Structure 1
Amino acid sequence: MQSESAAPSFADLGVPQRLVDVLDARGFTSAFEVQAATIPDALAGRDLCGRAPTGSGKTIAFGIPTLVNTAKARPGHPSALILSPTRELADQIKDELAPLAKATDRTVTAVYGGVGYGPQNQAIRRGVDVLVACPGRLEDLISSGSVSLAEVGVVVVDEADRMADMGFLPAVKRLLDRTKSDRQTLLFSATLDGDIAELTRRYQHDPVRHEVGEVEPDMTAMAHHFWSIDHEQRVDHTRDAVVAAGPTIVFTRTRHGADRLCKQLGKAGVEAAAIHGGRNQNQRTRALEAFTKGHVQALIATDVAARGIHVDGVACVVHFDPPEDDKTYLHRSGRTARAGAQGVVVSFVRDNNRKDVKTLQRDLGLAQVVTTPDATLLGDGSRHREATSRQKAQPAAKAQQSSPPKGGGGNGGRNRQRTRTRDGEDRAAGKSARRDDRPARDGGKPRTRTKPAERRGADGVVDVDPRPRKQRQSTDGRTNPPSKVHRKGGGAKRQAIEASRPR
């Protein structure tokens, strides 16, 4: 890898000075390897396919030539298109290119599913020069007539290998077919074989090829652990791993499994957030921010949702559900041990998947023995023991808080309020009660009012006193008459009813 002293400046690569100034202001004084290799050819208008790992600086590598080679667009007809496999990556690309776009008097916006169409349609109608898009949402916008690709002269396909993994290549081909035939096509991928090679042959003209960086994550920078556990022990051991290692990404196979594990970890004392295709964009963004800022200790993710998410400082990866193959293991595990840091990877092994684990280890060249779980090997053992002691003390404290006061409960458990659990689920503790979500006057708990029992008498009057008649005592010991309310009618009707009663 080239040293920083030998790395060329962006000006040396032919980048316009106004963009060099923006990069300098952001602290980018020297080009990364992929940028130095690809920017000159891309600025010259060549088709290009580049193999580079995630986090290598690809966005700047294709972003600068795209902005320089793109003409101003008219409303609904963007001049450049950048295709992204995930919403998170699309947002990252847009945010990274925004300062550069401003310096070149170009506009950039991102469109993707999971959010409303309204703001995206409005942005397109105002005019977008560079459109960053996920394939599915872009096809929807084309079908509705909101956008046309007929004037797109520059196309970037980012993370093409992930597009293939997620089944997006047919949509990518349909979108490319809608662009100008003489367009410039820039393709970036972690691999350039198989489906990606076919895409290159069909949609690129005499492309220049650049391959830089590592093809796969550095497996030697990770400590790999394979733990033999029972199915019902998975949550407890996940908690132990998070507490011992630090910030952890936990991979599950399904959305439901991610949500369930998130709640279970919360009850076990570990703050967690789930991210998957069933969450809308705002929920996914909040989960990522909470994890990045350290507000939650664990991020529970499905394989598809985690693609395009790049978070530094991940100490541990847990394969809660086993990966489908060695490629998935590499992709998941590569979330840790980034940028030269060390990382820990934990895989749960059960009796029904031991054979698959052996095959996986053979394909990956790993020789770790399947062992009993030991979270103290993952990080600070003293921190794990302290957290375990706190966890053992929690049930007794919760039981003491939830026990009813002596002498209370005169209503025999009826009409007790709903309580709200920590993970947001309602738990009925008796008959249901209506919750008043308005804030309490004293700043305490929200007020809760119990719906009174209603009894209709022979005279059509509704009795709203919830107590049995025999229990309605006044302060002097005499029985109080029930308060009476008429559903309809005013004073005249009440007088008519009173007059009709036998005296």
Structure 2
Amino acid sequence: MGVPQVLVDALAAAGITSPFPIQAATLPDTLAGRDVLGRGRTGSGKTYAFALPVLARLAAKPAKRQPGRPRALILAPTRELASQIDATIAPLAQALGLRTLTVFGGVGARPQISGLRAGVDIVVACPGRLADHVSTGAAYLDAIEITVLDEADHMADLGFLPVVRRLMDLTPRQGQRLLFSATLDGGVDVLVRRFMSDPVVHSVDSSLSPVGTMTHHVLHVSASDRLPVLVDLTAAPGRTLVFTRTKRGAKTLAKRLVASGVPAVELHGNLAQNARNRNLAAFSDGTAKTLVATDIAARGIHVDDVALVIHADPPMEHKAYLHRSGRTARAGAAGTVVTLATDDQASEVRDLARKAGIRPTTTRLRAGDALLQKLAPGERTFVAPPPALAEPPSDRAPRARRSPKPPAGRTRQGNDSGRTSSSRSSSSRRSGSTGGGRTASAGQPGGLAAFSSRAGGRRGR
């Protein structure tokens, strides 16, 4: 298809020998230098579709690196997606003698500034931090030959269009522009009309196209059964990604899963970048088998062998459902998607499924139902939670809270005896790292408090 042999060899070494449909459709035009508008659902292989032409075209015209002036720019909406793009591109770039750099917030700016000054060929960036570097003179975009907008619809959803337009205005008009997205509507049209020249459009599949290897289930549960059902599903073998609507919900649920014996970590916008990286690494290497996340993980997070995605909270819109669900059944693999819904969410979930173009199997069940074993096969395994998260032993009497002495001359009303104190555990404690393992059947450990989230809250990132 015109991909340089050195890249073909590097791909083959990684086990990639034939293109996915989105790659086969776009590569002839992108390698020829045309502006391309590519649509493909999540997990369809869009990263290689733009990475290969960027690398091939830069390698075909070697140029001396200039301080602060990269030759190619790839914009992504989230830090995690930018990191994953760079992880895909960097080994291939190294084989060609090209240098990459990631630029995003949440981490120190000085290493990025040093990297820009040293000279790089490709910058993979989030719009906000790159705009900061441009405003301080650490980065210039006048030497950009190829610009890529990945997940353009998500950037529009997050309100990044104004800063994206400012950055694009600084790139040479004659440069090649590639835009890849799961949907090509709304704000994406604004970018296409303003910055792309006679683009070739390739819509390999709609975001509503069913994924044949993905099965969808809706489980109607009571509020008291929500956590036991989640514990049952996440204690099964394999990696599970659980989504909540709010940052607080993700933090709370991760803590409760850990206390129930399921090694879990959280991912949301309230975490510092080093904590995000640490938790993603734990999920990737298997230290934590469950990742509890907000929609920050709905796009760009690719971890191999995620067999099960659970919507602990139904998402607010159908696009979020599709992107969340797309973390499983990627690249032809099989996967299962489970949505938990209470009675008052039933109509909302039916409307969500209709707009998403899916026909889920709907079941009303209680904790311990045999269907849970079918949805997440295998022996349930639990580990002892860290001491701070463990339940107090049943044979130990709770410690009474000491009442402060009332001021002289005043009488304290009521009886405070019998109140117990509870300690707050640190949210930064890594889960699932201590304690020996124990196994259980599909039944759940008893005494678990139900998990509930604030469904009407603002969705966290």
Report the TM-score when normalising by structure 1. 0.71
- Asked whether 1:366 is paired with 2:359, we answer yes
- Asked whether 1:161 is paired with 2:132, we answer no
Aligned equivalents of 2:6, 2:360: Cα separation in 1: 53
1:331: how far off?
Answer: 1.8
Mapping 1:141-156, distance limit 5 Å: 141-156=133-148
Partner of residue 239, structure 1: 231
Aligned equivalents of 2:80, 2:96: Cα separation in 1: 25
1:355: how far off?
Answer: 2.7
Aligned residues of 2:237 and 2:380 also touching (Cα < 8 A): no
Identity %: 48
1:39: how far off?
Answer: 2.2
Aligned residues of 1:344 and 1:378 also touching (Cα < 8 A): no
Deviations 1:325-362 (A, max 9, x none): 22222222222233344333222222432332232244
- Asked whether 1:91 is paired with 2:79, we answer no
Partner of residue 61, structure 1: 49
1:220: how far off?
Answer: 5.3
Partner of residue 97, structure 2: 105
Letter in 2 for 1:228: H
Aligned equivalents of 2:118, 2:305: Cα separation in 1: 39
Secondary structure of the residue aligned to 2:188 is: helix
Partner of residue 28, structure 2: 40
Aligned residues of 1:321 and 1:348 also touching (Cα < 8 A): yes
Deviations 1:29-67 (A, max 9, x none): 433333332223222221111112333333332223223
Aligned residues of 2:77 and 2:126 also touching (Cα < 8 A): yes
Aligned equivalents of 2:366, 2:214: Cα separation in 1: 17
Distance 1:331 1:420, change over 3 A: closer
Aligned equivalents of 1:52, 1:294: Cα separation in 2: 29
Aligned residues: 397
Aligned residues of 1:72 and 1:79 also touching (Cα < 8 A): no
Aligned equivalents of 2:9, 2:237: Cα separation in 1: 41
Letter in 2 for 1:247: R
Show structure 1 runs of 5+ residues with no match: 1-12, 405-417, 426-503
Q: Greater CA deviation, 287-296 or 63-72?
A: 63-72
Deviations 1:163-191 (A, max 9, x none): 22222222211210111121110111112
Deviations 1:278-316 (A, max 9, x none): 222322222222222222121101013432101232222
Identify which of structures 1 and 2 has the higher relative contact order when contacts are C-alpha pairs closer than 8 Å and 6+ apart. 2
1:389: how far off?
Answer: 13
Aligned equivalents of 1:249, 1:366: Cα separation in 2: 21
Letter in 2 for 1:339: A
Distance 1:69 1:234, change over 3 A: same
Deviations 1:460-502 (A, max 9, x none): xxxxxxxxxxxxxxxxxxxxxxxxxxxxxxxxxxxxxxxxxxx
1:255: how far off?
Answer: 1.2
Aligned equivalents of 1:401, 1:122: Cα separation in 2: 59
Partner of residue 317, structure 1: 309
Aligned residues of 2:143 and 2:172 also touching (Cα < 8 A): yes
Secondary structure of the residue aligned to 2:80 is: helix
1:244: how far off?
Answer: 4.2
1:377: how far off?
Answer: 1.2
Partner of residue 306, structure 1: 298
Report the TM-score when normalising by structure 2. 0.77
Q: Greater CA deviation, 89-98 or 335-344?
A: 335-344
Residue 399 of structure 1: which of 379, 393, 396 is its match?
393
Letter in 1 for 2:327: R
Q: Greater CA deviation, 82-91 or 101-110?
A: 101-110
Deviations 1:73-120 (A, max 9, x none): 310111211111221221222222223323333211111111111111
Partner of residue 135, structure 1: 127
Distance 1:361 1:51, change over 3 A: closer
Partner of residue 378, structure 1: 372
1:380: how far off?
Answer: 5.7
Q: Greater CA deviation, 111-120 or 30-39?
A: 30-39
Aligned equivalents of 2:303, 2:329: Cα separation in 1: 11
- Asked whether 1:15 is paired with 2:7, we answer no
Mapping 1:169-180, distance limit 5 Å: 169-180=161-172
Letter in 1 for 2:292: I
Letter in 1 for 2:223: H
- Asked whether 1:355 is paired with 2:347, we answer yes
Residue 338 of structure 1: which of 322, 330, 334 is its match?
330
Distance 1:195 1:325, change over 3 A: same
Aligned residues of 2:220 and 2:362 also touching (Cα < 8 A): no
Aligned equivalents of 2:375, 2:2: Cα separation in 1: 53
Secondary structure of the residue aligned to 1:259 is: helix
Letter in 2 for 1:399: P
Report the aligned-residue RMSD.
3.2
Aligned residues of 2:298 and 2:320 also touching (Cα < 8 A): no
Distance 1:420 1:384, change over 3 A: farther
Secondary structure of the residue aligned to 2:34 is: coil
Aligned equivalents of 1:397, 1:181: Cα separation in 2: 63
- Asked whether 1:326 is paired with 2:314, we answer no
Aligned residues of 2:39 and 2:206 also touching (Cα < 8 A): no
The structure having more radius of gyration, on CA atoms, is: 1
1:155: how far off?
Answer: 0.4
